[in-house]
Structure 1
Amino acid sequence: MATDRGALRDLGVTLALSGLGAGLFAVVGMPAPALTGSATAVTLAVLAGLPMRIPTWLRDLCFVTLGLNIGSSVTPDVLRAAATWPLSFAVLAVTLFCSLFASRAVLERGFGYDRTTATLASTPGHLGYVLGLTADMKADIVTISLVQSTRVLFLTLVVPLVVTLLFEPTGATVLPRSVVTPLSLGLLYVAAFALGLVFLKLKLPAAFLLAGMAASAAGHLGEITPGRMPDALAVAALLVMGALIGTRFRGAGMVAFRNCILAGLCITGIALAFALLGATVVMATLGLPIDMLIVAFAPGGVEAMAAIAIQAGLDPTFVAAHHVARLALLTVMIPLLARHTLGKTD
């Protein structure tokens, strides 16, 4: 019982700090304050030693809510536009492969990482999957976690800022103007969670986010559940998402953080350079907006990047589809690279 009370207290403090950070960022005019402000506040609290916590049930609820919000933007016009996306996916695959190998070389030669640790730390995404593999391999799990978490936090903070500073606001309304009814919303949540459990069984990446997107898209295309998510729920999901990013630094001392942050920033810079190259190629070939492509190709978390797309008035379906494709590619690539790495070191 005492443990339960302690967990609830930690959760309450985490959410309070998340809201405070979002409020401060909103006051100073930072982009996507609910996401960037909460991530910054909770990260600083974690590094200061405070027990920040986001339980699994709340994480899954957050992902489902984000997925339902993204799925509400799916229309027949979006599906017709998707016919032009395969080339974009192909460019994404090439840049992903080049980014991974360039980052691994930098970590090996510039930071002295062993081949296995460098391979897993340089992977541009799929943190949970990477850490699961790390448990079965001779790699530094603390270093990998810190380097990868630095990537996620940096991109969550920088991508909205870059899009805001370099590009004019789109003024686009990518979500329906009307709000979904309570009955339809309840049906969507039930369907999304049921589908999420199926996706988990199938070991799909971002299972609950994908389930929310699929349930919402089906409901909107069939005109069964018209309308967007209530604003309060959408903002609450962003606050939890930001807090979740911050909690990934739990257990990291300041010394370990300082030693890994430079490595994390270096590989993030490399990944961003290849992402910008890929975005430029697709823009020149397909004529798609460069700001949307930057968010789609940036190697951040699928949930965070899709949320940023909504905040910026960009097509969240396009963005989410590219990040899910990146995770699917990494699901295949990482074990193959890991086996090759072990073969080299044994």
Structure 2
Amino acid sequence: MTLIQWLAFPGFDEALLLVIAGVAGAWLGQCLRLPNPLLFGPVLLSGALHVSGLSEATIPPVIIALAQIVIGVSVGARFVGVSLASVGSSIVIALVQAVVLLVIAIVAAWIAHVTTGFSLAAALLAYMPGGAPELSLVALSLGIEPAFVTSHHLARITILILLMPALVAFLKRIGD
């Protein structure tokens, strides 16, 4: 990637439109009481702008790289003051959980790929365990449509939020 591509920013009008969509989306997300309104609202409005053809702006690669650094530092900073033994046992638990979730994601991605024809890589990122912002950044860096990945993560989170109260009530009844 050349330096010009690395530093390519959208035009002022595109950037202004997306900033307005971000602010309005955050407000709309809170008004509609969406789960994670500061993420869902702007993503929905940005998605609407992109689907309608009003915007074709993409995030500059330099911003993507900086966002990945900030996310990595913020995750690493959470380990300050944690004992090495605690980190070790947490790593073992996390590895087991990650393997189980990866197997589930791979199976789901393969089924989605076979039934819909979407690329296996895009489907895998869409079903991969992790946060929507982080995996959307990975999608961007791999040249995969981030809206596809983000929409799947948002759908998954929304379904979980809607079903969780019923699941908790069911588990409480079984436990009683």
What TM-score range do you get, normalising by the shorter chain?
0.7 to 0.9
2:57 is aligned with 1:227? yes
Q: Residue 57 of structure 2 aligns to a residue in which SS?
A: coil
Tell me which residue corresponds to 1:336.
166
Counterpart Cα distance in 2 of 1:189 and 1:231: 18
2:67 is aligned with 1:237? yes
Tell me which residue corresponds to 2:121.
291
Distance 1:212 1:233, change over 3 A: farther
2:114 is aligned with 1:281? no
Select 1:196's aligned residue among 7, 21, 26.
26
Structure 1 residues 98-123: Cα deviation after superposition (integer angstroms, max 9, x where no partner): xxxxxxxxxxxxxxxxxxxxxxxxxx
CA contact (8 A) 1:276 1:294 kept: yes
Counterpart Cα distance in 2 of 1:260 and 1:331: 26
Q: Which has the higher contact order (CA 8 A, sep 6+)?
A: 1
CA contact (8 A) 2:34 2:41 kept: no
Counterpart Cα distance in 2 of 1:191 and 1:289: 29
- Structure 2 letter corresponding to 1:307: L
Counterpart Cα distance in 2 of 1:222 and 1:260: 45
2:132 is aligned with 1:305? no
Structure 1 residues 127-167: Cα deviation after superposition (integer angstroms, max 9, x where no partner): xxxxxxxxxxxxxxxxxxxxxxxxxxxxxxxxxxxxxxxxx
Quote how far apart the aligned CAs of 1:201 are: 4.1
Counterpart Cα distance in 1 of 2:52 and 2:170: 47
Counterpart Cα distance in 2 of 1:184 and 1:340: 48
2:39 is aligned with 1:209? yes
Indicate the RMSD between aligned Cα atoms, in angstroms. Answer: 2.6
Task: Choose 259-268 or 274-283, whichever is displaced more.
Answer: 259-268
Question: 5 Å matches for 1:74-85?
Answer: none
Quote how far apart the aligned CAs of 1:250 are: 5.1
Quote how far apart the aligned CAs of 1:276 are: 0.9
Counterpart Cα distance in 2 of 1:251 and 1:332: 36
CA contact (8 A) 1:295 1:309 kept: yes
CA contact (8 A) 1:296 1:318 kept: yes
Counterpart Cα distance in 2 of 1:287 and 1:193: 35
Quote how far apart the aligned CAs of 1:202 are: 3.2
Q: Which runs of 5+ in 2 are unaligned?
A: 1-7
Quote how far apart the aligned CAs of 1:274 are: 1.2
Counterpart Cα distance in 1 of 2:150 and 2:137: 9
2:85 is aligned with 1:255? yes
Counterpart Cα distance in 2 of 1:229 and 1:206: 21
- Structure 1 letter corresponding to 2:58: R
2:146 is aligned with 1:316? yes
Tell me which residue corresponds to 2:12.
182
Counterpart Cα distance in 1 of 2:144 and 2:123: 9
CA contact (8 A) 1:180 1:225 kept: no
State the TM-score, normalized to the length of structure 1. 0.43
- Aligned-pair identity in percent equals 25
Count of residues in Structure 1 that have an aligned counterpart in Structure 2:
169
Tell me which residue corresponds to 1:131.
none
Quote how far apart the aligned CAs of 1:293 are: 1.2
- Structure 2 letter corresponding to 1:259: S
